[in-house]
C-alpha cells in the first residue's frame, strides 16, 4: 500500500515539476541555454526517501548568576548573538547578561551605564523586542547537580 501511495505522490509531484520547468524554459531557456526536458532529467523526483533527518543539537549554558551587590545592574547584549534562554526552573526567559563592570559607589550602575542602558536593567524586561528573535529552544540551562 505504501509503495502505491508513494508512486502516486511522486507522479503528481513530477507532473507539477514538468509544468514549472515548461514555464521556466519559456521565460529563460533560450537565453540561458536549457530545456524543460534537461531540467526534468536533472531534477525529477525518483522517490520519497528521507535523505537526512534533522537532529537537534542542544547547547547547555550555565544558569544566569547575578551579583547585585558589586556588579552593574545593566543588561548587556554579550558577544555576537545574545544569550536568550528559557530557564525551566523559573519558567521564565533570560535575556542577555549582567554587565561585569563594578558599580559606582552608591549607584546601581557602572560609569558606562549610569546614563545609558540600551538593553535595560537585568532585573526588568528588556525595553525593546530585539531579543525576541533570538529565542531558541536548542539552548538550555545546564542542571548542576
In sequence order, what are the residues at sequence separation of 6 or more whose Cβ sits closer than 8 angstroms to the Cβ of residue 109? 72, 73, 74, 99, 103, 117
pLDDT at 63: 72
In sequence order, what are the residues at sequence separation of 6 or more whose Cβ sits closer than 8 angstroms to the Cβ of residue 96? 75, 76, 77, 78, 82, 83, 84, 119, 122, 126, 131
For 57-93, write each residue's pLDDT tens digit: 677 777 778 888 899 999 998 776 677 888 777 788 8
Is pTM beyond 0.85? Reply is no
CA distance 109 to 73: 6
Cell readout for 120 is 535595560
Positions in the chain whose pLDDT score sits under 50: none
CA distance 54 to 113: 42
> In 10 A of CB 27, how many CB atoms?
10
Amino acid at each position: 500500500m505504501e509503495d502505491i501511495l508513494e508512486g502516486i505522490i511522486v507522479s503528481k509531484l513530477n507532473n507539477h515539476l514538468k509544468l514549472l520547468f515548461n514555464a521556466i524554459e519559456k521565460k529563460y531557456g533560450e537565453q540561458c541555454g536549457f530545456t524543460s526536458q534537461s531540467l526534468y532529467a536533472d531534477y525529477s523526483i525518483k522517490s520519497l526517501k528521507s535523505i537526512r533527518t534533522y537532529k537537534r543539537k542542544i547547547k547547555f549554558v550555565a544558569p544566569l548568576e547575578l551579583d547585585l551587590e558589586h556588579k552593574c545592574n545593566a543588561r548587556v547584549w554579550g558577544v555576537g548573538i545574545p544569550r536568550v534562554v528559557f530557564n525551566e526552573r523559573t519558567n521564565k526567559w533570560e535575556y542577555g547578561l549582567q554587565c561585569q563592570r563594578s558599580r559606582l559607589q552608591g549607584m546601581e550602575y557602572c560609569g558606562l551605564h549610569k546614563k545609558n542602558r540600551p538593553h535595560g536593567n537585568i532585573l526588568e524586561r528588556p525595553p525593546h523586542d530585539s531579543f525576541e528573535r533570538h529565542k531558541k529552544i536548542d539552548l538550555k540551562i545546564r542542571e548542576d547537580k
